[in-house]
Amino acid sequence: MKISHPFYDEHGDKLREECGVFGAINATDASAATALGLHALQHRGQEAVGIVSFDGTTFTARRGLGHVAENFSAPEAIAELPGSMAAGHVRYSTTGSGGLRNVQPLYADLASGGFAVAHNGNISNAGTLRAELVQKGAIFQSTSDTEVIIHLVATSRYPTLRDRLVDALRLVEGAYALIVMTPQGMIACRDPLGIRPLQMGRMGDAVVFASETVAFDVVGAEFERQVEPGEMIEVDFDGNVTSFRPFGENRSRPCIFEHVYFSRPDSIFDGRSVYEARKAIGAQLAIENPCEADLVVPVPDSGVPAAIGYAQQSGLPFELGIIRSHYVGRTFIQPSDTARHSGVKRKHNANRGLVEGKRIVLIDDSIVRGTTSLKIVEMMRDAGAKEIHFRVASPPTAHSCYYGVDTPERSKLLAAQMDVAPMRDFIKADSLAFISIDGLYKAVGQEPRNSGCPQFCDACFTGDYPTPLTDLAGKSDDSAQLPFPVNKVA
Ligand code: SF4
C-alpha cells in the first residue's frame, strides 16, 4: 500500500529506492535526532522503520510498519530508546508475511558484544553466502540479505568487532552503505565502489551519518563530507573519529540514478546539488532533443527540475500542465470504470484550460514499464493537447537493478522489449526521446562515459554491472531475480 507524500512516487511505475539510514553518536537526544533524520529520508522507504539505541550498557530496539511519524512521533516512543548513540532505517518493502522480523536495524548479541546494523543496498551474493552459512549450522531469523553480514561477523575469528566486520565484508559482493553500532561506538562504511550513498555530518559534539544530506538540514547538523567508497569511519564515545580504507583505494561507481530520481532535490550527492544536476539534465535533454512546441510541462513531482532546465535551455514557457493531488490516500472504492484512468487521475489531473489546443513537451525522469506514461499521454490528449512530445531525463531503462533498488524483472521493462519508435507508439506520444548516456554524464559534471572504467553505476541503462552477480549465475537474463530481494519482507 503506497501512501501519499509530496516526495513519493505516486505513479506506481518507477524504480524505487528501498532504504534510507541515519545514525548519531555522542548526541544528547540520539533517538530523537534519528527519528527526525529518518523522517527526512522517508521518500527512500515508506513501509517500515526501526531505531536501535545504546545507553552505554544496553541496546534497545523499536520497530514498526508504516511511516516514521506513525511510529516515532510520540515522546514515549523516543523515551523507550535511551542513550547517546542511535541508528535507524526506513525501508520500502512488499508487504506480506514476515512482518517485523526483517525491519532494520537488525541486532544480535555476539560473543564479542552487541551488534546492530542498518543497511542500504543489496548483497548480490547473499543467497550463496547464506546457503554456505546454513550448511555450517547458522540459524537465520529473517529473510533479509543483511543478516548474512551478522552471521559472517559472528563466525569471524578476528578479535575486534571492527576487524570482524572487515573480514565479513571481504566476502560480500554488491552494494552496501552501513551504519553499525557496537559497545565501542559507531562504524559507517560504504562498499568499495560506493554504489549506495552515505554522508557524514556534525551536530555539536555529535557525529551523524545519513543516506542524504537533507537529513542533516532537518536535524540541524552541518554536512561535513561523504563517506568515501570503500571507507570505514569509526567514531568512539570519546569523540575520536578514525578513517580506514580496508579495501584499498578504489575507483568509485556511485548510482547515477540518485541524480536522476532517488535523492531529494534539496540533497547534495557526489558533491553536487541534486536540484542543479536535474536542471542540467533537463537542459542537456533540450540540447540533444529540441522540439517545436508551445509549453514545457513536467510530470510531477519528479520531472519538475528537469522540465525547468529544458524550458530554460529551449526558451519555451514552463507551465504546470499536470496538477498533482497531495491528498491521495490509501485505497478507496473506485466507482466501477466510469473514469477511464481514474487511478492516474486521482494522483494527476491535466490542467485543461492550459493545455487545450497546445503542443506540449512532457518531461518525466524515466520510463519503467511504460504503463503510467501511456495513461498520462492519454490524459493530456483527453484534455485537448494538440501534440504531445515526451522527453525523458534518463536513458532507456533496459536492465534490472540488483543493488538495492526495486525494479521489475527485465522482461517487464519497456525498453528491454522494444526500441524507441515502438515505445513512442506504445505510449501514444507524437514523439519520444531520451537523454543520451554521455549527455547524462555531462549534465552531472563528468566527462563522457568511460566505457573501460565508467564513473558511475549505470547498469540499469547499460547492463554493465560493476560487481559480480554471483546469485544470478546460470539464470536467464529475463527471469533473473536475486533469491533474497534485499530488505523485502518475504
Ligand atoms: Fe543505480 Fe541503476 Fe546501478 Fe541500480 S543499476 S545502482 S538504479 S544506476
Q: What's the structural domain count of the chain?
A: 2
Q: Is 19 a catalytic residue?
A: yes
- Residue whose CA lies nearest to ligand 1 atom number 4: 401
> What's the CATH code of the domain at 182?
3.60.20.10
Is the pLDDT reported for residue 330 higher than 90?
no
269: Cβ below 6 Å to ligand 1? no
pLDDT score of 348: 87
Query: Is the same domain home to 298 and 220?
Result: no
269 domain-assigned? no
pLDDT, one tens digit per residue, over 67-109 is: 999 999 999 999 999 999 999 999 986 433 346 888 999 999 9
Cα 458 to ligand 1 centre (Å): 6
Grid coordinates of 454: 565508467
Query: Is the same domain home to 461 and 377?
Result: yes
Closest ligand 1 atom to 258 CA: 1
SS3 of residue 231 by DSSP: coil
192 domain-assigned? yes
Vertex 300: Cα angle to 295 and 302 (nearest 5): 110
Query: Is the same domain home to 206 and 345?
Result: no
311: Cβ below 6 Å to ligand 1? no
Q: What percent of the chain has pLDDT over 70?
A: 88
Residues 6+ apart with CB under 8 A from 189: 165, 169, 176, 177, 178, 180, 198, 227, 231, 232, 233
Query: Is the same domain home to 242 and 163?
Result: yes
Query: Is the same domain home to 305 and 453?
Result: yes
486 domain-assigned? no
pLDDT score of 449: 95
Query: Is the same domain home to 244 and 160?
Result: yes
Could you tell me which residue, 279 or 332, shows the higher pLDDT?
Answer: 279
Query: Is the same domain home to 318 and 426?
Result: yes
266 domain-assigned? no
41: Cβ below 6 Å to ligand 1? no
380 domain-assigned? yes
pLDDT, one tens digit per residue, over 101-144 is: 889 999 999 988 999 999 999 999 999 999 999 999 999 988 88
| Mean pLDDT of all residues in 468-484 | 65
Cα 262 to ligand 1 centre (Å): 10
> What's the CATH code of the domain at 350?
3.40.50.2020
- Determine the structural domain holding residue 460 and report its residue range: 276-325+338-481
200: Cβ below 6 Å to ligand 1? no
Residues 6+ apart with CB under 8 A from 407: 15, 368, 397, 400, 401, 413, 460
310 domain-assigned? yes
